[in-house]
Amino acid sequence: MPYQAGNRLPGERASKIAHFEVINSPLVKKLIKSFKNPEMPEECLGLAWEPLPVTGKPLKYIFGVDGSNQTINSDKSPYSSISFVKTALIKMDSYALGKLDKENPHPFVLKQILQESVVFHSTAFPLRNVWIPETPNNYHAIREIIFESIKDDSPQMEGEIMETFKWIVYEKWSKTKKQLPFFECPHCHETVATLLYDEEMGKCHSCGGDIYVTDMLGFHLDMGEDSAPQGISTTYMIIHETLLLFTAIRNFWENRRSNLSDCLFVKDGPLSIRAQYSKLVEPIRKFLANARDEGYPIHIIGQEKSGFFFDHFQFIGKDVPPKSIFVPHDEYIKKEIQQRPLSGAEYGKDTNYGAKVFIKTHMKFFE
Ligand SMILES: [Zn+2]
């Protein structure tokens, strides 16, 4: 602890002398030098950056989704944990936003614009040492909470998210009436569970246990009997954000299809869903391809603000002129970004519903 400043002498600065010795050590010097060695591989020098196309017209309607989650731990025995999740869909009023000062938007005006165009959803998961009396254990309690939360029929949501969920998994936008692909039953753990077209609940044909449509996502595969990992609420948040965004898409598809291609749908984070939850990805891809083939291309982007791709962009984007675009192909991603063997599966084969694109709009970002 340094001495505080007195009347006659300034305060002591914390252990600066010790730091000085550390940075003068030959070993530390050598290490630091080796830490700062981002030599750009030759493959990254001649990348196929292209100028950002200037054709096309601005999209009229902009929708964005975002979410947050927070786990609260009690610091007294038996140390319980509850995780809270909040998600929101925002419709941007591009006319009202256009009138704002882009560098210094007035916070109250911005707040008012947002208040008029946001829908919120929130829920909570008992992760550890919290019980719901009517349910046999935490495992089944969380299954029920996921079902009830997706079904959220509050005045804000009115069951719209469940409708979107069914619209995706039963491919309700197509003409064929499909049942759910078989998935692992949360009771007998055999891969025999399914539900008939449009059903929200049913019974397992093998053990007779209750099945929710949301069980097909496989949250129960990540849970223990009495506790659930923090990842449950993070994954729920990502899935709920995706469903919120697709609720806006579904609404246009069903009611204003001719305006669908005038919209921009923006997700916070990549257009991907990990592990067993990626069962949503295949029907989403099918829908996007179908919409394009029917003449209603959907403009959807996921903006990444951290992670491997973001870090790589800092590296390769520095010397590129503004308004440039680069689409990395599979081989490049595996070799330069993931640094894994080229022989493995294609990047994002089962988990992504969008391609990666690097776009440099202006210089400021790199300053
Ligand atoms: Zn079963």
* Per-residue model confidence as pLDDT tens for the chain (367 residues): 555 566 666 655 555 556 667 777 888 888 877 775 556 666 667 788 999 888 888 888 899 999 999 998 888 777 888 899 999 998 887 777 777 777 787 878 777 777 767 888 999 988 887 777 777 788 898 999 999 999 998 888 889 999 999 999 999 999 889 999 999 999 999 999 999 999 999 999 999 999 999 999 999 998 888 778 888 999 999 999 999 999 999 999 999 999 999 999 999 999 999 888 999 999 999 999 999 999 999 999 999 989 999 988 988 888 888 899 999 999 999 988 888 888 888 999 899 999 999 999 876 655 5
Distance of CA 168 from the midpoint of ligand 1 (Å): 24
What does residue 22 show for φ and ψ, rounded to 5 degrees? -60, -50
What's the 204 CA to ligand 1 centre distance in angstroms? 5
Distance CA 81, CA 228 (A): 10
Instruction: List the beta bridge partners of residue 69.
Output: 85
- Which residue in the block uniquely carries the two structure tokens 């400043």? 5
Distance 191 CA to ligand 1 centre (A): 8
For the whole model, what pTM was predicted? 0.83
Cα of 137 to ligand 1 centre, how many Å? Answer: 17
Which strands sit side by side in the sheet containing 50-51, from one edge to the other? 50-51, 324-326, 358-360
Q: How far is the CA of 197 from the centre of ligand 1 (A)?
A: 19
- Rounded-to-integer distance, Cα 240 and Cα 166, Å: 13
* Residues, beta carbon < 5 Å, ion ligand 1: 185, 187-188, 204, 206-207, 209
